[in-house]
Amino acid sequence: MIFDIQHFCTYDGPGIRTVVFFKGCPLRCVWCCNPESQKATPELMFDGEKCIRCFKCICPKGALKHTDEVLLDRDICNVCGECQELCPTNALRVVGRLLSVDEVMKEVLEERVFYSENGGVTFSGGEPFMQSEFLLELSKLSKLEKLSVVVETSGYAKWEKIEKTLQYVDLIFFDIKSCDSERHFVLTGVRNELILENLKKIATECETVVRVPVVEGYNFKDESDVFKLAEICRNADVEKIDLLRYHRLGEKKYRMLGRKYDLEVGDTRFIHYMKKILEEEGFKVMIGGTNY
């Protein structure tokens, strides 16, 4: 279950890459900028800005009503996708499609001429390890094709779902959302013990960069949180930390899914202070870095 495949990416690993976005995630981060990645099933997105009110969209189930605008009843909609075919502006769009391993690989290999030595494929999400057998096959085939393989993970998966794939992976981007387990639960819906345990195991087997979304006042409040992060990375023998700036680019997608986004983040300068502390602690630190 894939929600997007993007080509010519330069922010998700070395070189030029194709990024395959798996749909489905066990976490519900309050700042998530890809809310369409969370549910493991297809969803209907409605973009009111693209809608020209032609009212060509007819729903056989009666989930679409036309007043002076289009009203979608998500309790009735079964995401059959029929309305998407009728909409001339792509205002209605089903996100999430079932693809076979061969279909994904075909799309990845179409771009191989651009990958040169260090580029390749990145499996992102959502959480790729939620579809661990699919990820294993894709990683294995990508390695057979001599592509660089990167996996972006929340680290929240049983070890047996992770371990078998690592031999085919060159680099892991491992998210740490909060160093405090209670706060982690409040902000993401799960505690962080399993995640931190997996970080140590993964980092012994595969090159690992820790990625940290910095949402000031939420997951990082003061410098004691930064020292905790340094301790976690040191204990796992991780040297590189990539700090990710908070942004609101996903806000519109919540509306398109009929959901609310209520996070208010004031200051975003703390990230630079974090970088300084972590560098003094001996880490190589990037902010949204591309130099892996």
- At position 235, the amino acid (one-letter code) is N
Give min distance, CB of 48 to ligand SF4, in A: 8
Cβ count near 267 (within 10 Å): 9
Starting at the edge strand that comes first in sequence, how are the strands of the sheet with 148-153 ordered? 2-9, 17-22, 120-124, 148-153, 171-175, 207-214, 240-245, 284-287
Give min distance, CB of 92 to ligand SF4, in A: 5
Kindly tell me which of 44 and 171 has the beta carbon lying closer to ligand SF4.
Answer: 44
| Residue 185 near ligand SF4 by CB under 6 A | no
**4, 39, 56, 143: which one binds ligand SF4 (CB under 6 A):** 56
Radius of gyration of the chain (CA): 20
**27, 32, 92, 130: which one binds ligand SF4 (CB under 6 A):** 92
Give min distance, CB of 286 to ligand SF4, in A: 41
CA–CA gap between residue 131 and residue 150 (Å, rounded): 16
| Residue 65 near ligand SF4 by CB under 6 A | no
Is-contact 42 97, C-beta < 8 A? yes
Encoding tokens for residue 186? Answer: 């409040």
| Residue 55 near ligand SF4 by CB under 6 A | yes
**1, 5, 9, 79: which one binds ligand SF4 (CB under 6 A):** 79
Encoding tokens for residue 252? Answer: 């519109």
**52, 71, 98, 144: which one binds ligand SF4 (CB under 6 A):** 52
**54, 71, 98, 144: which one binds ligand SF4 (CB under 6 A):** 54
Give min distance, CB of 104 to ligand SF4, in A: 24
3 state DSSP class of 159: helix
CA–CA gap between residue 77 and residue 182 (Å, rounded): 36
Kindly tell me which of 83 and 257 has the beta carbon lying closer to ligand SF4.
Answer: 83
| Residue 91 near ligand SF4 by CB under 6 A | yes
CA–CA gap between residue 112 and residue 67 (Å, rounded): 49
| Residue 61 near ligand SF4 by CB under 6 A | yes
| Residue 232 near ligand SF4 by CB under 6 A | no
Indicate the pairing of strand 240-245 with strand 207-214.
Answer: parallel
**5, 51, 101, 265: which one binds ligand SF4 (CB under 6 A):** 51
Those residues whose C-beta lies under 8 Å from the C-beta of residue 46, and which sit 6 or more positions away, are 70, 72, 91, 92, 256, 258
**19, 27, 44, 187: which one binds ligand SF4 (CB under 6 A):** 44
Positions touching ligand SF4 (CB under 6 A) are 44, 51-57, 59, 61, 63-64, 70, 77-83, 86-87, 89, 91-92
